[in-house]
Amino acid sequence: MGRIAAATVALALLAPGVGAQQEQEPEPTFRVDVRLVRMLATVKNPMGALVGGLEKSEFRVYDNGVRQEIAIFERRTEQPLSIAVLVDTSFSTVRERRYELDSIQRFLRALLREGNEEDQAALYSFSTSVTLQTNYTRDLRKLERGLKSLKSEGATAVFDSIYLAAEEMKRREGRHVVLVVSDGADTASRVKFEEALEALHDVDAVLYSVLVTPVRGSAGRNLRGENALATFAQWTGGKMFTPALGAGIDEAFSEILRDLRTQYLLGFYSRGVPPSKERFHRVRLEVDREGHSVSARNGYFSDDVMETPAAGPQRKP
């Protein structure tokens, strides 16, 4: 979505002096972060169909419970899309790899055939380590060569791949989307879940995950890893899909593509929100249509924390 516009203002609240040598207790110092928060959102009607023609006045946004004025609004936004496709190439995915890669190839063809002529995709693979196979491009031949070169081996570093893809997006304008294709387990990451989540929020990225596993029951599955992917998707306004092999994977990618073509872009400057000891601001987006649901990021990380003053009395000269 572009770089976050931020201006940090430090306000020192000092009690007035009474005497030249009088001891004074330090008052709290607050850091107030005035920033533009961008949100990509999709709206669905009671039947689950995407709705793309709503007006700005039909949306309400709240930052830590305080209603905010919507400063930016675009329906069916045409801002260029940067989508990072992260493909799990750990040894555990060897049986599903052919189905996954065929579906990813069809998705990329549809993505770059339509939409903004500046839309680009990058291809990452991850196993024990993360590899950028194809940098951002519109050249399908390069992306397809990257897909054909993938081999299944090693462990799984899901969080590392998300973190690195988000870091690369800091240099890219427009919309940011991360698409993870995996069997769900994370067994090798150095980056923690919380660090990967904050990296996504820092670049206003929406995460979609396609969880491909031949095991339909809970036995033998890494439910902790699956829950992590579901949380990434939920907290950024995306979605996790759990398709069966074959046509189900194609349908998951088709739904993601429909979402990307029907997104709203909203933005607000955070104002009037009391400082807090928590860095994470909870954001709530509502739509004024009965029975309609909206998917969008549920917050952002900020530096407007209440700082604890140094212990001990201070003397005013």
Query: CA 41, 42, 43, 48: dihedral to nearest 10 degrees?
Result: -150
What's the mean pLDDT in 132-145? 97
pLDDT tens, residue by residue, 44-99: 999 999 999 999 999 999 999 999 999 999 998 889 999 999 999 998 777 777 78
The tokens 């929406």 sit on which residue? 206
pLDDT tens, residue by residue, 168-208: 999 999 999 999 999 888 999 999 999 999 999 999 999 99
H helix or E strand, kind and range, residue 111: helix 97-113
Q: CB-side exposure of 197: number of CA atoms within 13 Å?
A: 19
What type of residue is 62?
Y
Q: What local confidence, expressed as pLDDT, does residue 214 receive? A: 55
Confidence of residue 303 (pLDDT cuts 50, 70, 90): confident
Domain boundaries, the chain: 6-76+266-315, 81-260
Q: Are 294 and 41 in contact (CB under 8 A)?
A: yes
Query: CA 146, 149, 152, 157: dihedral to nearest 10 degrees?
Result: -30
Q: What local confidence, expressed as pLDDT, does residue 27 receive? A: 53
Confidence of residue 307 (pLDDT cuts 50, 70, 90): low
Q: Strand 81-88 relative to strand 6-12: parallel, antiparallel, unpaired?
A: unpaired
Confidence of residue 134 (pLDDT cuts 50, 70, 90): very high
Q: Please give the model's pTM, rounded to 2 decimal places.
A: 0.83
Confidence of residue 6 (pLDDT cuts 50, 70, 90): very low
Confidence of residue 14 (pLDDT cuts 50, 70, 90): very low
Q: Alpha-carbon distance 244 to 211, whole Å?
A: 9
Q: Alpha-carbon distance 183 to 196, whole Å?
A: 18
Higher pLDDT, 61 or 153: 61
Neighbour-count burial of 123, counting CB atoms closer than 10 A to its CB (0-12 exposed, 13-18 middle, 19+ buried) = buried
Q: Report the chain's mean pLDDT, rounded to a whole number.
A: 85
* Model confidence at 258: pLDDT above 90: yes
- Secondary structure (H, E, C), 17-44: CCCCCCEECCCCEEEEEEEEEEEEEEEE
Q: What is the CATH number of domain 81-260?
A: 3.40.50.410
